Chain A
Amino acid sequence: MSDDAELLQRIRAGAVEEFAELVQRHQARVCAIVYRYERDAHRVEDLAQETFLKAWRALEQFDGRAPFEHWISRIAVRTALDHLRREKRHQNEVALPELGEDALDWLRSPDEKGDISSRDAAEVLHRAMQQLSPADRVIITMQELEDRSVKEIAATLGISGIAVRVRAVRARAKLKHALERLADL
């Protein structure tokens, strides 16, 4: 299997159908990124598709200095960010799924001794992060769930590293507050 650079070279030379191979190679990663921001499987698929279409339209801008994987990941995060902004505008129209009893029990317990499943934890975070701004959600998600560096987050959002650090601290505090309110429901 040839690497991405060779594949891209062939696509640019006119072998359009080979873009499908590129999609297959990176769809799992794109899907994993988008899934951090959207829990509905159909919407995840739509956002992943939108990511690849954006990449296709901007393929000439990819200069190959960074791996294709990094480039497509950044497009995926920006696509998710646009989605969150659209969603924020229609927040009142979106019905949020109820949290399960296990998740609520864990959330309401006073200490951290009990376990919470990964699915419940993701659901709880998703619910609480609805209270944050789209940019704050991206910062928290990239920093805490994807272990991305401040530099990467800054480049993705187009803000300075200092701004990322400051916003991360504030976003974390807001998230704690949102989780406490969720536990009180």
Chain B
Amino acid sequence: MNEKKLNQLFAAARNDVAPEMPGSFAAKVMRSLRVQPRAVSAELNSVWDHLNSLFPRIAFTAAAVIILCVATDWGLTAIGLPDVTDGSAQVASQYLFTPDNL
């Protein structure tokens, strides 16, 4: 089978005409699709839907922030620096709740 003969075969096959669909084809499709619910739009309706869709991301971010804070606190304590709670307690006692401000 040479290239020319193969191309001749393709050229002839291109002209092959498909059979016509019966006149009732569209009606048949419509009968079938009445029992096939169309996919509901991905459109979100309420704030709760939005929150639901965002939940995995929010939960992951919250977990990441908690882990980061605990690790930082643990790290600061390990190297002898005042940890996050010490720092906030110091700030509160020295600047925020001094007798002059009360």
Contact = CB atoms under 8 A, between A and B. Distances in A.
Interface of A: 16-17, 19-21, 23-24, 27-28, 31-32, 34-35, 41, 44-45, 48-49, 52-53, 56-61, 111-112, 115-122, 124-125, 144-145, 172, 175-176, 179-180, 183
A176 B22 contact: no
B1 A116 contact: no
B21 A145 contact: no
A181 to B, nearest CB: 10
A51 to B, nearest CB: 9
A52 B22 contact: no
Given A17-B30, A116-B8, A31 B21 contact: yes
B39 A180 contact: no
B39 A57 contact: yes
> Secondary structure at chain A's binding surface: helix, strand, loop or mixed?
helix
Interface string B1-25: 1101110111011111111111001
17 contacts: A20-B30, A23-B26, A27-B21, A31-B21, A32-B17, A45-B22, A49-B28, A49-B32, A57-B38, A58-B39, A60-B41, A61-B39, A118-B12, A121-B10, A121-B16, A176-B1, A176-B6
Top 3 A-B pairs, shortest CB-CB distance: A121-B12, A35-B18, A122-B16
B38 A59 contact: yes
B9 A125 contact: yes
A49 to B, nearest CB: 6
B29 A44 contact: no
Contacts of A180: 1
A23 B25 contact: yes
B16 A111 contact: no
Contacts of B19: 31, 35, 41, 44
Contact of B32 (A44, A53, A144): A53
B38 A145 contact: no
Contacts of B18: 28, 31-32, 34-35, 44
Given A57-B36, A145-B13, A112 B5 contact: yes
Contact of A27 (B12, B13, B25): B25
Contacts of B14: 118, 145
Nearest to A49: B29
B21 A28 contact: yes
Contacts of B33: 16, 19, 52-53, 56
Given A44-B18, A121-B12, A53 B30 contact: no
